[in-house]
Amino acid sequence: MRVTPYHVEVVILALLVQGSSAGLYANISPLNHTCALQSPVLSCTDLANESKSDSCCTETFGGLVLATQLWQTYTGHESAKQVNPKDTWTIHGLWPDFCNGSYTQYCDLSRQYDPLPSPNTTTGTPSGTPVRPWTGTNIGEFLKPFGKLDLLAFMNKYWIAQNQPNSDFWGHEFSKHATCFSSFDVECYGPQYVQHQEVVDFFETVISYYQILPTWGWLRAKDIAPSNETAYSLTSIQAALTEGFGKRPYILCSGPAFNTTAAGKGSKDQGKVVLSEVWYYHHVFGRVQRGQGLRVDADIAGGALTNCATTPGALWYYERSKGSEV
């Protein structure tokens, strides 16, 4: 075969990709990951294994995928016009748990763009590898060379941080979580990979899951709306979200434990009382970027469904603070 400058360039690029990346699996080639040629394999099944399937086309590492959303009443950066969108929950992220419900984090420190790593080691313990704070350009700037100003605008409206700039939050979510999906490994993008291509891909994927999970609407349809005067029962919130999603999500609360409040004095209910997050669980067909998730119950791996107070009328779904919503 005649060797052209193009072939030489491809070989060089392939070697560069192999030498500069730190994928989840050793010795992954950047060649031949044409996922359209492969039948989608469902994650957390026997075939969803790197020895049996292409890890770029099947989620073989973090096969229990959580699409997570936030309800927060302020941002702490209102003066910089960083505010919450009206009548909707906001994005937290897209997380790759292991099929047994455990998880890892910061899987590729060569793609660490988090200015405030939390935890600050890969294991969350002193014996883990340190995760050094990112001091370079904020991750939002990575979108601009790709012409993704519309994506950046959407993120600034619906992916809102609290007590930090939005871009710091996005950097955290990518670095801690996206690097632990097999299908966002750099090798999956082929020998002509462009730096930060997978960052754009991850952000678009997160949004694709967010767009089909209308937490606000599912609650509002059952007359559950933010209020500083009316408290709600966990059973009502669970029922509304389960009806909408088709499976039981995880409902996370913050704030004080019910038995430390005046209303809960004498109770044994230690659940938290401020509605804060919802986590929607999926197994996925093929790579997570396809957006084809099989919805599953949040306790599929044996975990809990909530940390909220179970006493009737114990939960607060607070209104947003004045000036924190547009």
- CB-CB contact of 298 with 67 (8 Å): no
Cα–Cα distance for residue pair 210/69, rounded to 1 Å: 8
The SS3 call for residue 187 is: helix
| Cα 305 to Cα 301: distance, rounded to the nearest angstrom | 11
Catalytic option among 33, 59, 172, 177: 177
The yes-or-no answer on residue 173 being catalytic is yes
Rg (CA), the chain: 21
- Point out the catalytic residue in the list 33, 59, 172, 173: 173
Tell me if 29 sits within 8 A of 65, measured CB to CB: no
198 counts as catalytic: no
* Cβ-contact 274, 220 below 8 angstroms: no
Q: What is the DSSP letter of 255?
A: E
The catalytic residue among 33, 92, 196, 283 is 92
Q: Which of 295, 152, 155, 148 is nearest to 212 (CA)?
A: 295
Q: Is 92 a catalytic residue?
A: yes
Structure tokens at 38: 């492969």
Tell me how far apart the alpha carbons of residues 153 and 159 are, in angstroms, rounded to a whole number.
10
- Residues designated as active site: 92, 173, 177
